[in-house]
Amino acid sequence: GCVLVVSVIEQLAQWHNSTVKAAVERLCNYIPGKYQIICHMFCCIDREMNADVVCHSLKLCKQDPGQPLCHLYPPPKVSWFSIFFQSYKLWKKIFEGFSSVCAFPLLDNLCEKMKYVIRNKLPFEDFDGDKFSTFPTLRGYHWRGRDCNDKNTTVYPGRRPDNWDVTSDSNCNGIWGVDPKDGIPYEEKFCKGADSQGVVLLGDSAGAHFHIPPEWMTVTEMSAKSFANLPMAFTDELDWPQFSEITGFLNSTIGGWTDSLYLRLRQRNRCNHRDLQNISQNGGSSGNLLYLIKSLARNQLLDYPAIVIYATIGNDVCNGNRDTLAHMTTPKEMLSNVVQALRYLDTRLPNGSHVILTGLVDGRFLWDNLHDRYHPLGQLNRDVTYSQLYSFLDCLQVSPCSGWLTPNETLRNLTSERALQLSNVLKEIATSEKFANFDVFYMDFPLRQTAEEWRKMGGEPWQLIEPVDGFHPSQIAAALGTSITWQKALREWPQVLGKENPFNGQIQAIFKDQGGH
């Protein structure tokens, strides 16, 4: 992170032919409000100090005994030690008393909120404790359907209506009251027997839709508008679930377009409005999902059934360890983890629910399509390729996937082999395990079909990968993946999707007449 920020500052100075100090001020003026404190940390950069030197001297990058010195750029011509010593003296007073970024004034309260949501995966602003919120970020309604009464714990998205919602909207789908023409409650008239159901994602950073905007580090296009979404992105953990493949519901502002399983279910049955939960986390795997799943909000007696997508598509084989193969999930561990999760779901999901297990991705696609391309940081001077970035992260032992983001073809193949083994475990579970409250299906992660579809549309495969991290599916990949998944479900499991609600047109017409959305 430090290297990225300092690189941007140095490139801003180059692009605008200014001093580094002026570039820091320019960047600080772009960044909104309280977040400027992070920018001012880098007030003392000197032109002789490249990003690696600055970040090592800040102790944000370190070199343990016996480990290589990690750097993204070529080493400076003068000795590292002399520049480190010079830099350290400059920063010692600035950082004295601050053990971390969160110790800075203005950021400490925000960091406490972030720690809460990262630890609990529940909305920070939830006054009635029903796990739903009227606040968008900090695990609010970007992640779960928006609460319509945050002072009443019995009112939340996904519940069966209370007395057909004659007097109020108990399930937040916007349908309540009585038709004056015949005295029948709208909820009963339009939603009774309509196979209403919610959608829940249990997943990882791909499912949460991790995204670092490339305009944050493309100095040729940078302006104050580039960072307008910084506060929202930070308080959503750099995830964008509101645009994601499973639970997206807003028009994308990060490129591409939004298409999601939730939107398609809602289009099929307007009574499903707001019934969504994205229970994902960066780094999610079959192991830590056993804790994450406890934040699910579903009452077996009071709520509608749900379609649950179980999709940890990479982290069971991805880690940043040098001996990466030794730290991958084994087939035996995968079987145990997933069956435990399904047994827990059987105690929480209403009868008539469905679970779809998604296989792991073949991540060789990443190296094959990106390794020799320039990263956004390297586009100005044509000096940083994805291969260099991957090597830098691997050296720091923070690579998101040492097994796939490597020039070692043998290791890439072994990682894909393990991923296939784990996918086969999921496939076997879907055919052999039975549960009281839901049936289980399996589907491969549709990367190959997505790439083929994108080529037909005139696109290039590298555009399906997030440009900054070079690892996650892009917005385009997410939207195309939804279409492919939906078509498969229509062909093979139509019972999962529920029937088309014949009253959708009437519901929409009433909303339009009343000025609703």
Q: How far, in Å, CA of 308 to CA of 407, rounded?
A: 36
Confidence at residue 26, expressed as pLDDT on a 0 to 100 scale: 94
- Residue 460 structure tokens: 């290039």
**pLDDT at residue 510, as a whole number:** 81
Is the pLDDT confidence value at 501 over 80? yes
205 is catalytic: yes
Instruction: Please tell me which residue, 436 or 54, carries the higher pLDDT value.
Output: 436
For the chain, the structural domain boundaries read 1-97, 198-312+321-360+408-504
Q: What pLDDT is stored for residue 101 in this prediction? A: 62
pLDDT at 104: 62
Each residue's pLDDT tens digit, 164-218: 999 999 999 999 999 999 999 999 999 999 999 999 999 999 999 999 999 999 9
Q: Is the pLDDT of residue 86 over 70?
A: no
pLDDT in tens, 87-114: 444 444 444 444 456 666 666 787 888 8
Answer whether residue 464 shows pLDDT above 60: yes
Task: Name which of 120, 3, 138 is nearest 60 in CA terms.
Answer: 3
Q: Range with the lowest mean pLDDT among 4-18, 214-228, 401-415, 502-516?
A: 502-516
Q: Average of pLDDT values for 137-151? A: 97
Out of 75-79, 184-188, 472-476, least confident range: 75-79
Task: Looking at the structure, give the CATH architecture of the domain made up of residues 198-312+321-360+408-504.
Answer: 3-Layer(aba) Sandwich (3.40)
Q: Determine the pLDDT at residue 78.
A: 54
Its pTM stands at 0.93
Query: Nearest to residue 165, comparing CAs of 126, 191, 134?
Result: 191
User: What's the gap between Cα 212 and its chain centre?
Assistant: 10
pLDDT at 353 over 80: yes
If you ran DSSP here, which 8-state letter would residue 463 be given? G
Q: How far is CA 141 from the centre of its chain?
A: 14
The amino acid present at 77, given as its one-letter code, is K
Q: What are phi and psi of 381, to 5 degrees?
A: -110, 5
Catalytic residue among 7, 133, 205, 244: 205
Predicted pLDDT of residue 94: 46
More confident residue, 115 or 196: 196
8 Å CB contact between 482 and 264:
yes
Residue 366 has pLDDT above 70, yes or no: yes
**40 pLDDT higher than 90:** no
| 212-245 pLDDT per residue, tens | 999 999 999 999 999 999 999 999 999 999 999 9
Question: What does 48-94 look like in DSSP terms, one character per residue?
Answer: T--HHHHHHHTTSS---TTS----SSPPPSS-HHHHHHHHHHHHHHH
Work out the mean pLDDT of the chain and round it to a whole number.
Answer: 91
pLDDT value, residue 91: 47
Q: Which of 49-53, 318-322, 330-334 has the lowest mean pLDDT?
A: 49-53
Q: Report the alpha-carbon angle 180-183-188, nearest 5.
A: 110
**Rounded distance, CA 202 to CA 112, Å?**
25
